[in-house]
Amino acid sequence: MAGADGTLVWNLEKMLQLRGPSNTGSRGATSAIVWVRRADDPGDTLFYGTQEGFLVCWRQGGAVAYFSEWSCVRMTNPGEVMGLAFDAVSSRLATCNRNGNVKVYALDADYNLCLLYSRPIVVPKSSPKAIALGEMNGNERDIMVFTIYSGHIWVVG
């Protein structure tokens, strides 16, 4: 959940708010969020983007009942992060922001980000609103970018 108190994480089975990192409010409101789960990691990982163009990673280790901040990067040509999508098979994170930038990162075993792809999407009188990873196209997945106002769907391969 995100709001005036920042990003909050809840254990819905126990109806308990989990403790998260403090001092995260200076990065702007949370505008996009995605859970990342990999078979080789027992903990939960959460990536979220903010209106100020930050991409933040929180991790929870195994039985630990709180999240700690793992990384925080300011995207180049920052604008509000509008969409996030994760592909567990390839361990890739796709992002889009209000300025029309689409980026794909590879996550290494320690969840460090490595930029693989960066491309501007120019849609007159519109901007990206959401992103999804689609069908396999050779060895890569298609990247689908959904725009606000114009209704265009761009397939980036």
**CATH class of this structure's domain 2-156:** mainly beta
User: Over the stretch 116-147, which tens digit does the pLDDT of each residue have?
Assistant: 988 888 777 788 889 998 887 777 788 899 98
User: Over the stretch 78-102, which tens digit does the pLDDT of each residue have?
Assistant: 789 999 999 988 889 999 998 888 9
User: Over the stretch 4-26, which tens digit does the pLDDT of each residue have?
Assistant: 566 777 777 878 777 776 655 67
Which amino acid is residue 3, in one-letter code?
G
Instruction: Say how far apart CA 35 and CA 157 lie, in whole Å.
Output: 23
Domain ranges of the chain: 2-156
Determine the pLDDT at residue 22: 62
Please check the confidence at residue 63 and state whether its pLDDT lies above 70. no
